[in-house]
Amino acid sequence: MDTEPNMTGVVFSGCKITEKLGQGGMGTVYKAHHEALDKFVCVKLLSPELAKEQRNIEFFLREARSAAKLEHPNIVHIYNFGQENGSYFIIMSYVEGKSLQDLVAERGPLPVKEATDIMIGILDGLGHAHSKTVIHRDIKPANILVDKQGFPRIVDFGLARSISEEKQLTMAGEMIGTAYFMSPEQGLAGTVDNRADLYAAGATYYYILTGKYPFDGKTSIEVIHKHIGEPVPNVILVNPDIPLWAARVIERLMRKKPEERFQTAEEVTAELRKHNSGEVPLEAVSAERTFDIPEVTARMAAVPPPPPPPQQASLEKAGTKTSGRTKKTDSPAITKPHEPPSMFKEPAARPTLQLAALHNSVKIALHLALTLGATGCFILAGASGNVPGSLTAPLASNPAAAFGLAGLGAALFFWALWQKPLKFTPVYLLFAVTAAAAAYAGGAYIPAPAGADTVAKGFLALKIGLENMFSQANLIVYALFLYLAASKAVFRDNWLFKVLAVAAYLCGLAFTYAYFKDGAQLAPEGIWLAAGGGLALAGLAAALTQKSFNLFFSPQGFFLAANIVMFAMFTNPQVETITGVKVKAEAAAADEANRANRENYQRALEAAQAEVLYDVDGRPVEKKQPPPPAEVKPAPEGELRTRARLQYYTVLGRRVRSALAESAGIIFIALFLALMANVCFIEELLAAYRERELY
């Protein structure tokens, strides 16, 4: 057998391996440090021997694909997967704790309440997976990680598959799963659905309550045959302290026919929560007769019920439920060793969630205040000059105020940046820097009267902006806003976001049309309208079908091209008009120059003919005729068109700049960019919130 290579220090997708955690059937799991997130993660590597077969690689990658579709606190989160350094890897969240298998091996059977809380978490995770059409197919204690607070997480989706998945990696007649927890239909290699996971959950519940497998044998085949043909052993015979309702849940979960079991994980969790919370009186439970075991029935039917074992009694005293929270009594009860986390309880009684949500709301409000305050400082910095319309005037005439206000704005932006979970990200930095630049320019271009101070200019900018909020001059600003906002939301999985993004793209395109059409005395050509409409339809199709950026089928690219077509549709006729004027003027100038040259030539010719020259011998000398003048030709039409286009763009730029300055449109741009930075911040905060499983 080959010696296992030392992977310490090897980096996979930015995660540096620090130590080995364990060995599994598909490969090895390592602890690693994620350098970008500054946190520990797990890196699972496919065994090199298994990687020699494509089928094993598909199994391994299917684990990553299956788990990556799931976002739930009770399922280990997948960050990345792929191939690097000659190995196939999966990067997942790191759980500081033990597997449920190791926990039972160390402590023995778990108390009913603790075991039930763990099962509720497992079933909550399974319910989420089943809602995404993912079946785990290998639920067992070894695939459940329990952290130090007793919170369970499901791992190892290597055998998982989607109900709608067409490609099957298991061959006909092949049994997939672990024999001790395998459902009868898996043992028979039959059709498997979510109820197979519920059967395995029942077997897991049996194991953690008793410390024993439901069925045991010398070989896996023997165990599988027992799952298929033998009745489920009575869990109360193994551990008489287990309540009857728990035995009833296990018996129903592990029925041979899937249609006779619980049909969904939600049904099971509702049943477990009802009994584990104490909502059902013990007398009502003890009146049931699911098993005909006289000694057990007599014991449970006794009124009042006998006191539980010391440890269980202490747990019940220490765990009295009051308004969804656990409170301690004055009795000298033994402290509960593994109190279930508040996430196991009903949503209405989760103060941790409320405090975390409040904390994030405060952070969002603080970040918004910082970015808007920073934008305001840059507006005032631009307005501190004494010459409107000059970007250098503030620095030349009032450098102390300009640099001071700009420095304060930069400090506020850095403070906002410090609030971010990911710190320096290019998109956020781009929005912040451009917002600062636009705010400074907007302040510098405020048409303020002479002698107005900086604060007065700031209020004037606000007044002008509010008065011209719906001005025609700001349509191009709103078109830019809508394009950027739509580009930010178009790849969301939520269809509502996609529809809103498409609507924003189309409205922005309409605003671009209206802005350049305003005042243009011409009708757009059909070919331009057709080109713009075709690009808009292509962008619509890309927006509704694409889930990530695609260079060749991008909604951003198509709608940007459509806006450019709208611009060209009104620009080109204007350029042609100017070109025509220039062609006529150039032709007239050339004709005038040629006429003047001909007249000058004629006069020179007449003068030469009138004058007679003689040589030294007195003979007349024949004079040379003056050369005819060269014809002056007008400039080429292509050159004149280039001049016309440059002239049009210069005039258009002045018009746009003047309109934006007079309507405070540049300040609108700055505020919008600051809001886009806030959108980036909220997205990062929610992503970090989900990672830390605060809700």
Q: Per residue in 548-586, pLDDT tens?
A: 877 888 898 999 999 898 888 888 888 888 898 888 888
Last residue of a domain, one of 61, 93, 125: 93
20 three-state secondary structure: strand
Predicted local distance difference test score (pLDDT) of residue 691: 58
Cα separations in angstroms, 689 against 370, 445, 622, 693: 21, 42, 104, 6
d(CA 334, CA 317): 9
Q: Are 142 and 98 in contact (CB under 8 A)?
A: no
Q: Which has the higher per-residue pLDDT, 187 or 342?
A: 187
- pLDDT band with cut points at 50, 70 and 90 for residue 356: low
Q: What is the CATH number of the domain that holds 285?
A: 1.10.510.10
Predicted local distance difference test score (pLDDT) of residue 436: 92
d(CA 136, CA 147): 21
Same domain (yes/no): 169, 248: yes
Same domain (yes/no): 250, 281: yes
Average pLDDT over residues 290-318: 44
Strand partners for 44: 29, 90
Identity of the highest mean pLDDT range in 163-172, 215-224, 444-453: 215-224
Same domain (yes/no): 75, 148: no
Provide the residue range defining the domain that includes 453.
Answer: 352-468+664-695
Q: Does residue 144 form part of some domain?
A: yes
Cα separations in angstroms, 181 against 156, 202, 264: 15, 9, 18
Please, which residues have CB within 8 angstroms of residue 159's CB and are 6 or more apart in sequence?
59, 136, 137, 138, 176, 177
- pLDDT band with cut points at 50, 70 and 90 for residue 377: very high
Same domain (yes/no): 415, 562: no
d(CA 451, CA 456): 10
Same domain (yes/no): 481, 573: yes
Instruction: Return phi, psi of residue 293, to 5°.
Output: -125, 100
Instruction: Name the token pair of 194.
Output: 């979510």
Same domain (yes/no): 283, 404: no
d(CA 59, CA 190): 19
Q: Give yes or no for residue 329 having a pLDDT over 50.
A: no
Instruction: Name the token pair of 332.
Output: 């000298």
- pLDDT band with cut points at 50, 70 and 90 for residue 336: very low
d(CA 688, CA 421): 7
Specify the DSSP class assigned to residue 89.
E
Count structural domains, the chain: 4
d(CA 4, CA 422): 36
Same domain (yes/no): 196, 210: yes
d(CA 330, CA 318): 9
Same domain (yes/no): 47, 135: no
**Chain mean pLDDT for the chain:** 77
d(CA 150, CA 100): 10
Predicted local distance difference test score (pLDDT) of residue 407: 93
Q: How many C-beta atoms surround the C-beta of residue 9 within 10 A?
A: 8
Q: Give yes or no for residue 186 having a pLDDT over 70.
A: yes
Q: What is the CATH number of the domain that holds 77?
A: 3.30.200.20
- pLDDT band with cut points at 50, 70 and 90 for residue 63: low
Q: Does residue 388 form part of some domain?
A: yes
- pLDDT band with cut points at 50, 70 and 90 for residue 537: very high
Instruction: Return phi, psi of residue 31, to 5°.
Output: -90, 135
Same domain (yes/no): 88, 125: no
Q: Give yes or no for residue 371 having a pLDDT over 90.
A: yes
User: CA 91 from chain center: how many Å?
Assistant: 18
Same domain (yes/no): 85, 113: no
d(CA 637, CA 643): 10
Instruction: Name the token pair of 298.
Output: 């007599």
Specify the DSSP class assigned to residue 425.
-
The residue annotated as part of the active site, out of 117, 124, 138, 156, is 138
Q: Does residue 607 form part of some domain?
A: no
Lowest mean pLDDT among 195-209, 337-351, 629-643: 337-351
Same domain (yes/no): 304, 253: yes
- pLDDT band with cut points at 50, 70 and 90 for residue 175: very low
Same domain (yes/no): 510, 431: no
Q: Which has the higher per-residue pLDDT, 31 or 692?
A: 31
Nearest to 63 by CA among 124, 137, 144: 137
Predicted local distance difference test score (pLDDT) of residue 551: 80
d(CA 592, CA 632): 9
144 three-state secondary structure: strand
- Interval 243-266: pLDDT, tens: 888 888 998 898 888 888 899 989
Last residue of a domain, one of 66, 93, 120: 93
Please, which residues have CB within 8 angstroms of residue 30's CB and are 6 or more apart in sequence?
7, 17, 18, 19, 20, 21, 42, 43, 44, 45
* Annotation says 138 is catalytic: yes
Predicted local distance difference test score (pLDDT) of residue 483: 86
Predicted local distance difference test score (pLDDT) of residue 671: 86
